[in-house]
């Protein structure tokens, strides 16, 4: 069976949010390859492996743009949530 790949997009640091971190660890424990892309407000290394998770950090001064990107991705992945932008904005 093919190994599942999961991409998690965050507008904050993964290590500062225990709920998301625990969810990602659970996915990793179930055999998924988890990659986390998050902003880097803490100025940590740009990329690292942490407990089996691949973490990619990037700086972005405008989180509004990232919210729009997330909304667009969400509508592409789940068409029934196409109007999610009205809930978040």
At residue 85, the pLDDT reads: 45
pTM of the prediction? 0.65
Select the more confidently predicted residue: 89 or 72: 72
Across the beta sheet with 53-58, the strand order is 5-10, 33-39, 53-58, 47-50
Please give the full DSSP string across 18-69, using - where no structure is assigned.
HHHHHHHHHHHHTT-EEEEEEE-TT---SEEEETTEEEEEE--S-HHHHHHH
Residues 1-17: pLDDT tens digits? 688 999 998 888 888 88
Which of 67, 71, 44 has the alpha carbon at shortest distance from 56?
44
Cα-trace Rg, the chain: 14
Residues 76-88: pLDDT tens digits? 776 555 544 444 4
């Amino acid at each position: 069976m093919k190994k599942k790949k999961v991409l998690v997009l965050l507008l904050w640091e993964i290590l500062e949010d225990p709920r998301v971190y625990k969810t990602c660890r659970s996915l990793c424990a179930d055999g998924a390859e988890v990659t986390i892309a998050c902003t880097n407000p803490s100025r940590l290394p740009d990329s690292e492996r942490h407990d089996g998770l691949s973490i990619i950090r990037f700086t972005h001064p405008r989180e509004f743009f990232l919210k729009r990107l997330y909304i667009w991705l969400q509508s592409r992945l789940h068409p029934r949530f196409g109007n999610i932008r009205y809930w978040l904005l």
